[in-house]
Amino acid sequence: AWLDLGLAALFAACLSTPPAAQAFPIPAHFVDADLLQGRSGAKIRQTLTNYHDLQYVTYVHIGKQVLTGIIDTGSFELVVFSKECHSCGKAGRYNANISTAYHMGSLTNRQTYGSGDTFSRE
What sign results for the dihedral spanned by CA atoms 14, 16, 22, 28? positive
Q: What is the pLDDT of residue 3?
A: 42
Query: Domain coordinates of the chain in residue numbers?
Result: 23-121
Q: pTM to 2 decimals?
A: 0.54
pLDDT at 115 over 70: yes
The CATH architecture of the domain made up of 23-121 is Beta Barrel (2.40)
Interval 17-57: pLDDT, tens: 455 555 555 555 555 555 555 556 666 677 888 888 888 88
E-strand spans in 34-114? 49-51, 55-62, 65-70, 81-82, 92-94, 108-113
In the chain, pLDDT over 70 holds for what percent of residues? 63
pLDDT at 108 over 50: yes
Distance CA 84, CA 25 (A): 9
